[in-house]
Amino acid sequence: MAGVDDIDMLLPQTQCTRCGYEGCRPYAQAIIDGEAQINQCPPGGDATIAALAALLGRAVLPLNPANGTHGPQRVAQIDEEACIGCAKCLPPCPVDAILGAQRHMHTVLVELCNGCELCVAPCPVDCIRMVDRTELVDRKIAAAASAPTTEDNRRRFQAHAARRLERTAARERLLAERKSGSTAGGP
């Protein structure tokens, strides 16, 4: 019988949340739990629906328009003149495709960007826009010719999640040390 791992293997791994879940694996779990249908992943489109239907022995369904539409690959572009260097776009990027530091201009590594759009809403000055990858290829931006594969997305998301966990653990250790220090030195 197919499990969460088998379903997750068929999903595009952009972690875009358009399926209505926090990422690809939570969506896979929801399918197993009978909470979600197999037609909720716009980045995967018909190909992913067909693969899920074959795996699970279900009927093919049309993509649910409530989740969005399947279209050409897109990438984020930052208007570097308008960027204020607030760094709010960095944490949401599941594949760490944005480079920059506080108070410095940020830029997108288009060869890593999976088009999830999760960086767009957090930008306080609306200087991130999504463009078709082919538009950048036409403009002879060489890096745009190489789009990340599903496996690239998975590997980079796992690394991103591991770094986030490590940062949280380090912060908690620091807080605990400070707390125990202030208790030891207390009245």
Which residues are at the interface with ligand SF4 (CB under 6 A)? 11-12, 14-19, 21, 23-24, 27, 41-44, 76, 78, 83-89, 92-93, 95, 97-98, 100, 106, 108, 113-119, 122-123, 125, 127-128
Q: What DSSP string describes the chain?
A: ---HHHHHHTS------TTSSSSHHHHHHHHHTTSS-S---TTTHHHHHHHHHHHHT-------GGG----S-EEEEE-TTT-----TTTTT-TT--EE--TTS--EE-TTT-----TTTTT-TT--EEEEEHHHHHHTT-GGGGSPPPHHHHHHHHHHHHHHHHHHHHHHHHHHHHHHHHHHHT--
Instruction: Quote the least distance from Cβ 165 to ligand SF4, whole Å.
Output: 19
Which of residues 12 and 144 has its CB atom nearest to ligand SF4 in the complex? 12
Q: Which is nearer to ligand SF4, 21 or 144 (CB)?
A: 21
CB of 185 to ligand SF4, least distance (A): 39
Q: Which is nearer to ligand SF4, 83 or 144 (CB)?
A: 83
Beta carbon nearer to ligand SF4, 22 or 166: 22
Closer residue to ligand SF4, CB minimum distance, 139 or 187: 139
Identity of the residue, 164 or 178, whose beta carbon is nearer to ligand SF4 in the bound complex: 164
C-alpha separations of 76 from 73, 112, 118 in Å: 10, 10, 10
Note the residue count of the chain: 187
Instruction: Kindly state the smallest distance separating residue 90's Cβ from ligand SF4, in Å.
Output: 7
> How large is the C-alpha radius of gyration of the chain?
20
CB of 172 to ligand SF4, least distance (A): 26
Minimum CB separation of residue 100 from ligand SF4 in Å reads 6
Q: In whole angstroms, how close is the CB of 158 to ligand SF4 at the nearest point?
A: 14
